[in-house]
A and B are shown apart, each in its own frame.
Chain A
Amino acid sequence: MKRLNSKELEKKASKIRLLCLEMIDKAGGGHIGGSLSAMDIMTALYFNILNIDPKNPKKKDRDRFILSAGHKAAGYIPVLAERGFFNKELLATFNKLDSPFGMHPDMNKISGCEMSTGSLGHGLAVGVGMALALRMDSYNSRVFVLMGDGEIDEGTVWEAAMGAAHYHLYNLIAIVDYNKCSMDGAIDEIMSLEPIEDKWKSFGWTVKRINGHNMSEILKVFNGIQKETGRPTVIIADTIKGQGIPSIEGDYHWHYGLLNNKQLLDARKRLKEKL
């Protein structure tokens, strides 16, 4: 597949946002806020950065992507569908009995999904294991782990952060979807993460900060990661919960929800204009 440039990626992300909203609408609700805040990053990864092949999803030298914040599956699954890992018609089964998909992704049911996730704080340590195994076998593969911001409250994230730096895992890239909201309220009120950059730096990571909704910034940061540093990289992506739907943007209540008819019609119109 041809790698999409940033303009094309913007359109692609709008298209997948539409898929995501229609899927959540059919399911009667979903993790809409975080799915939309991470959408631009996931789109950039799957349509430009990752070395993957939907026709050969298990090729050994592929890059790995772990959706550690598994509840963002409502965004992730449409990305995989659009990328060609399975038929888009399947999205209509989301959350239904015997569907391959639900709120959190299952690696044994979804082509292209590298790890079953959902319980927060597991993905980075799984990524440490993958990065060690791939390096042992001299593959150039990289491992990308997308975490939510509230997720990094979990202690296991910091166990893995220590481990990744100790083992010089230059092939491990963490992304924090910093939308400033967790389930009970604003991050700063529930459990502040600041100074977030200093925390990761002090654990021995290379820290990058980007606007997680600016495609050229996203591509630039991924393309600028250097193996030679011998350090793992974390990308702190400033994002907006519910990005793309002004009536819900930045509102922590939209961790999980269902748009009403007016919101949905409005969102469809806005997103279609961007295609």
Chain B
Amino acid sequence: MEKPNISMKDFENISLREAFGKTLVLMGEKVPELVLLGADALGSTRGAAFAKRFPQRTFNFGIAEQEMISAAAGFATCGKIPIATAYGFLISMRACEQVRTDICYPNLNVKLMATHTGLSMATGGTTHHCTEDIAIMRSFANLTIVAPSDATETAKAVESVIYYPGPVYLRMGRGEIPNIYSRDYKFEIGKSILLRKGNDVTIIAFGIMLVEALKAAEVLAKENIQARVINMHTIKPIDKDAIISAASETGAIVTAEEHTINGGLGEAVAGVTSAFYPVPLIRIGIQDTFCGIGPENGLRKKLGLTAQSIIQASKKVILMKK
């Protein structure tokens, strides 16, 4: 299939969902099987541009996420490639069983596009926080989980996910994230990206925590600690080779995620290291708690989702090396 040319300059410093919406229109022109499904949130998930360009290929189900996900399965059995959009907590929890039983079990080609993930809706409170989705989604066989970090990566990820056969959960935050990449690069599902070389410790992160990881590595470098930074944009299937290399070459790992530490990236990484190359590992994430209310940055700071936490954990984990 011919691919659209995702140009970095089109995606500078916009939010992930803006990038999603923009890419979806580009892909709609190329892939006639693409249909967009929404649940009365096409505006806030940024599906509206596609809906305007392709009204005959857009279906709004009202506030009925479970119906939307089951219907997506129906579309897929008829050869369509449904893009089912909703806030992440609704896809992963409200429609959890539909995702598992109607999409993953029959292995249908449905793309679950989850927006407003993590603490994107910080002031929304716990009802609108999406901090358990990866743990839930990781437990489903056949499902691929992708979580891009900036707008360009979102565009590349959306393109890749649409061409990738089988069910995918794509996780996007709401905020505007500065572009992490200064030049173009190749995005491949299942293949992590080395963002910074280093051999003292490895920091593995995705999404907004990747920004914090890079900040932490800068500070650590000034103290003569060379941290390797890996962008683990695909959480399932996870890039085992990169994790094993990191464990054997740096001997210590810190993971960072805007998600509960129970069942998230940290446990996925620990699952690989404990089986193939055990090394000390510290997980930065939400520590088995509901998060409260506050502005996004304030809440992250309160919960320790910061470069500072990553710096402290890095120093600690280095001391734990045998």
Whether A128 lies near B74 (C-beta < 8 A) is yes
Whether the pair A122, B78 counts as a contact (CB closer than 8 A) is no
A162 within 8 A of B: yes
Write out the residue numbers on chain B whose beta carbons fall within 8 Å of the beta carbon of A133.
Answer: 35, 74-75, 77-80
A-binding segment of B63-71, B190-198, B287-295: B63-71
Question: Can you report 18 A-B residue pairs in the complex whose CB atoms are below 8 A from each other?
Answer: A64-B77, A106-B106, A108-B107, A115-B73, A115-B106, A125-B66, A126-B73, A128-B67, A129-B70, A129-B74, A129-B77, A133-B79, A136-B35, A136-B56, A136-B80, A156-B70, A160-B70, A162-B64
Partner of B62, one of A108, A126, A163: A163
Shortest B221–chain A CB gap in Å is 51
Which of A122, A155, A167 gathers the greatest number of chain B CB atoms within 10 Å? A122
Interface check B247, CB cutoff 8 A: no
Contacts of B82 in A (CB 8 A): 129
Does B61 touch A at the CB level, under 8 Å? Answer: yes
Question: Which applies to chain A's interface (DSSP): helix, strand, loop or mixed?
Answer: helix
- Shortest A143–chain B CB gap in Å is 8
A130-B77, A156-B66 known; A163+B71 contact, CB < 8 A: yes
Total contacting residues, chain A, CB less than 8 A: 31
Binding site for A on B (CB under 8 A): 35, 56-57, 59, 61-62, 64, 66-67, 69-80, 82, 97-98, 101-102, 105-107
Does A27 make an interface contact (CB < 8 A)? no
Interface residues of A in 99-158 (CB under 8 A from B): 106-108, 114-116, 118-119, 122, 125-134, 136-137, 155-156
Instruction: Kindly identify which residue among B64, B74, B107 contacts A130, using a CB–CB cutoff of 8 Å.
Output: B74
Q: What's the dominant secondary structure at chain B's contact region?
A: helix
Residue among A118, A130, A137 with most chain B CB within 10 A: A130
Contact residues in A for B106 (Cβ distance below 8 Å): 106-108, 115-116
Say whether A126 contacts B79, CB under 8 Å. no
Chain B neighbourhood of A159, CB < 8 A: 61, 64, 66-67
Report B-chain residues with C-beta under 8 Å of the C-beta of A118.
101
Contact A122 B98 (CB under 8 A): yes
Query: Residue B101 contacts which of A60, A116, A137, A162 (CB distance < 8 angstroms)?
Result: A116
* Minimum Cβ distance to chain A for residue B106 (Å): 5
Distance to closest chain A CB from B151 (angstroms): 30
A239 and B77 CA atoms in complex are apart in Å by 31
Chain B residues closer than 8 Å to A155, beta-carbon distance: 66
Closest chain A residue, CB of each to CB of B56: A136
Q: Which residues of B contact A128 (CB under 8 A)?
A: 67, 70-71, 74
- Listed from nearest, the 6 A-B pairs whose CB atoms lie closest are A129-B74, A129-B71, A125-B70, A133-B78, A159-B67, A130-B74
Closest-CB distance, B163 to chain A (whole angstroms):
20
